[in-house]
Structure 1
Amino acid sequence: MSEPLLVALDRVRAWLLDPETLVRAVASGRHKGQAPPRWRRVELRYVDLKAGRHLQVVAYDETQAHTSNHAVDAAPAAVDALLREQFGNWHVETLTQTHQVRVTKKLEAMVHTSARSAPAEVVRDHDRGKDRLLPESDPVFRALGLSDAEGRMKPSRQAKYRQVEEFLRLLDSSVSEAVAKGHLRRPTAEEPLRIADLGCGNAYLTFAAERYLTGVRGLPVRVTGVDVREQSRDHNNAIAAQLGVSAEFVVGSISGVELDPAPEVVLALHACDTATDEALARAVAWGAGLVLAAPCCHHDIATQLRTTATPTPYSMLTRDGILRERLADTLTDGLRSTLMRTQGYRVDVVQFVESKHTPRNTLLRAVRTGAADADASVRGEYDELVATWGISPRLAALLDA
């Protein structure tokens, strides 16, 4: 049932301003048809400083995080400013409950509250080393060999840890928003959310996603990892057994694997070249509600650009190899996004980790809304673009097949 938006935001305000019970809160999205908020995402929690307890606000723009701390008596002003930002979703965790607030098209609020099975543990330490979605000492990192026996992240694994952390933030907000808006069902212990990681390799992100969603968020999930190598399957199943987690790993190609029942969330992180196209096509065939794909290399379109005549007046964009490669990256992911939109997905192209940690830092986030953006003008622009450049996107062929 919906309720007046101001009434719901008053409740959110009360939860945010309780320094004894608030565990964590996240604001994201925007009101339908309204200008986007100043921040794409904001996280709030209380921390204990030398000067006493403060409300810590971490606000993310497109490139970095901005942290501010507000004394308890100054917290109302900070919270009120955030409530005026017109975020479309609020996820609030307290010691005993989890609250999800979604703003509807009619500017009303849908509020869902669930009780925790056990009171949450709260970390008030201000040490940013501990202000992580998953701390370095988490058993999953030791099992994967990223941290040492004392629970300290190995220096050579810091970049991988950063990638995992930023991916979990995107996964967290994406799943929360998709569930709140009804694009993903609300999972239960009897029917956990089905997640498939295609081309999982050593399954760093697979295990981290399972650990965070189940252990921190309290969401029942069932994870399946797919990789063509038997060694990966055996290695990952052994780690799953060691950790006692609900995860299964199978041998198979992205295009050929059969999963029954079909996954509802599909992950494909750094699947090379057209393997990303295969993952997107499989997600469409399964009717997955959420897809997160971080492409790795774009050889297919780059090769086509080298072997076809460059249309006038764009020769200066392909004369130099490095520019041609970058153009191929942009063309490939732009065409992928358009094709996914024609299949009923809302698509965002985001940067999921800073380029200093990996040059392959673009992520396609697709949410199945069912409203195909396939009107004549969109399809016409797509057809004109591929005809002009003389290219044949692999994803288009897979979808047609």
Structure 2
Amino acid sequence: MIEPLASAQMRVRDHLLAPDTLVRALASGRRKGQRPRWTRVELRYVDLKAGRRLQITRYDETQAHVSNHGPDDAPAAVAELLAEPFGNWHVETTAETVQLRVTKGGEAAVGITAGVAAVAERAHDRAKARMLPEDDPVLVALGISDAKGVVKPTRRAKYRQVEEFLRELGASVDDALGAGRLAPTAEDPLRVVDLGCGNAYLTFAAHAWLSRVRGLPVRLVGVDVKEQSRAHNTEVARRLGVEDQVTFVKAGIDDVVLEETPQVVLALHACDTATDDALARAVEWSADLVLAAPCCHKDVSRQLRSRPAPAPYSLLTRDGILRERFADTLTDALRAALLRTRGYRVDVVEFVGSEHTPRNTLIRAAATGAVASGADEELAALTATWQVEPKLAELLG
């Protein structure tokens, strides 16, 4: 239902300030033409020695900032968050779930689902919340954890990469659910494709989190050009008992044919222009959500090597190592700009520390249906200045 934003926010405020019934709340997304100070905010109540406190975790592009608020200052902290131009609020209580989405006209689209939510976890000193615990069957099946359910010392970096990717996926999916862009049901599950899935670490992890942790009906397809990968991953799915929900096909990113159009497209560490192939397919499918972690940006680097840099930027491309690093940045900036011209809201973030993998940039795009103001002009100016022809522009026509 549509109602004035102020009244809808008062309902959210009342839930946020109810220490006995609030289970969890999440603020995410942004309103048209505005950007909140935080990428997302999570709220829950915790029990401390001094009593029950409202714990607020604010996320920026690189880290989480946690604060605890008592009865005296919690109302002000909540009011400050409600004043931020978040596009979506998702509030779970012991009695109902409230989803608030701010419309383009500045009103509130509110959905309320009755029923008992998950039991609130009030412990303050709990271990850091894991997207998938170390003993999860998926991690054991993939060889990240041993038979005792402990992550192997040599696989710590891989486990951290999986965890941080799932955090980004979780935040993006929660945002899309809250905005009403995704609404999976048992009859129409969430359709996900992982392009260039390789050994499918993130494919299986994404399915495990979305289906078992988040409780969403999911149908996921992994795509890889190698028959060996398809056979191996299919056997892992069989051992995990998810072969009816997770399937694999042998095909290239640019020519794969899927039975159903995917709503979520993943492409993690696809080399060079394979990332462009993945982004182009996502646009072709009108995917609601895209998460791509690029790898080895060779195409634009080659173009920069053969063309003079515009004044006064020749120092950026004179030395090979600087040219390669600049090409990485320029390539992903152009990809983001191209997606904005096709009706996507795009963020480029670091999803895991560089000590775990040097390929740690994530392009996160959500369909809005509206071209960002000035997107075409910005793209034209950037390509003209550097005299480059992005592969993605060619693929998108």
TM norm structure 2: 0.90
Deviations 1:127-180 (A, max 9, x none): 453422333333322222222334333333333233222222222222233344
CA RMSD across the alignment: 2.5
1:241 is paired with a residue of what secondary structure?
Answer: helix
Residue type of the alignment partner of 1:108: E
2:25 is paired with a residue of what secondary structure?
Answer: strand
Distance 1:18 1:134 in 2: 29
Distance 2:137 2:264 in 1: 24
Q: 2:222 aligns with which of 225, 231, 239?
A: 225
Deviation at residue 364 of structure 1 after TM alignment: 1.4
Distance 2:223 2:192 in 1: 11
Distance 2:335 2:249 in 1: 27
2:207 is equivalent to residue 186 of structure 1: no
Instruction: Confirm or deny: 8 A CA contact 2:44 2:55 kept in the other structure.
Output: yes
What residue in structure 2 maps to residue 28 of structure 1?
28
Instruction: Confirm or deny: 8 A CA contact 2:88 2:179 kept in the other structure.
Output: no
Distance 1:124 1:148 in 2: 31
Deviation at residue 345 of structure 1 after TM alignment: 2.2
Q: 1:196 aligns with which of 184, 193, 198?
A: 193
Instruction: Confirm or deny: 8 A CA contact 2:25 2:42 kept in the other structure.
Output: yes
Task: After TM superposition, list the pairs within 5 Å mapping 1:227-306 onto structure 2.
Answer: 227-245=224-242, 246-306=245-305
Residue type of the alignment partner of 1:370: G
Residue type of the alignment partner of 2:26: V
Deviation at residue 72 of structure 1 after TM alignment: 5.9
Closer/same/farther in 2, CA of residues 326 and 386 from structure 1, 3 Å limit? same
Distance 2:89 2:49 in 1: 29
Structure 1 residue ranges without an equivalent (≥5): none
Distance 2:3 2:376 in 1: 39
What residue in structure 2 maps to residue 63 of structure 1?
62
What residue in structure 2 maps to residue 132 of structure 1?
130
Q: Which region of structure 1 is more displaced relative to structure 2, 352-361 or 382-391?
A: 382-391
What residue in structure 1 maps to residue 2 of structure 2?
2
Closer/same/farther in 2, CA of residues 11 and 254 from structure 1, 3 Å limit? same
Deviation at residue 257 of structure 1 after TM alignment: 0.8
Distance 2:378 2:153 in 1: 48
How many residue pairs get aligned? The number is 395
Residue type of the alignment partner of 2:218: V
2:10 is paired with a residue of what secondary structure?
Answer: helix
Distance 2:124 2:130 in 1: 11
Closer/same/farther in 2, CA of residues 32 and 286 from structure 1, 3 Å limit? closer
Deviation at residue 57 of structure 1 after TM alignment: 1.6
Distance 1:397 1:366 in 2: 19
Closer/same/farther in 2, CA of residues 340 and 32 from structure 1, 3 Å limit? closer
Distance 2:368 2:53 in 1: 39
What residue in structure 2 maps to residue 161 of structure 1?
159
Deviations 1:62-115 (A, max 9, x none): 221111223466544433332233422111223454321112233321111235
Distance 1:14 1:134 in 2: 32
Deviation at residue 54 of structure 1 after TM alignment: 3.1
Q: Which region of structure 1 is more displaced relative to structure 2, 68-77 or 160-169?
A: 68-77
Residue type of the alignment partner of 2:367: R
What residue in structure 1 maps to residue 389 of structure 2?
392
Structure 2 residue ranges without an equivalent (≥5): none
Deviation at residue 363 of structure 1 after TM alignment: 1.5
1:47 is paired with a residue of what secondary structure?
Answer: strand
What residue in structure 1 maps to residue 205 of structure 2?
208
Instruction: Confirm or deny: 8 A CA contact 2:192 2:221 kept in the other structure.
Output: yes
Instruction: Confirm or deny: 8 A CA contact 2:21 2:93 kept in the other structure.
Output: yes
Closer/same/farther in 2, CA of residues 87 and 312 from structure 1, 3 Å limit? closer
Distance 2:230 2:18 in 1: 46
Distance 1:217 1:114 in 2: 16
What residue in structure 1 maps to residue 15 of structure 2?
15
Distance 1:53 1:231 in 2: 54
Deviation at residue 10 of structure 1 after TM alignment: 2.3
2:308 is paired with a residue of what secondary structure?
Answer: coil
Closer/same/farther in 2, CA of residues 168 and 391 from structure 1, 3 Å limit? same
Instruction: Confirm or deny: 8 A CA contact 1:199 1:271 kept in the other structure.
Output: yes
Distance 1:23 1:227 in 2: 40
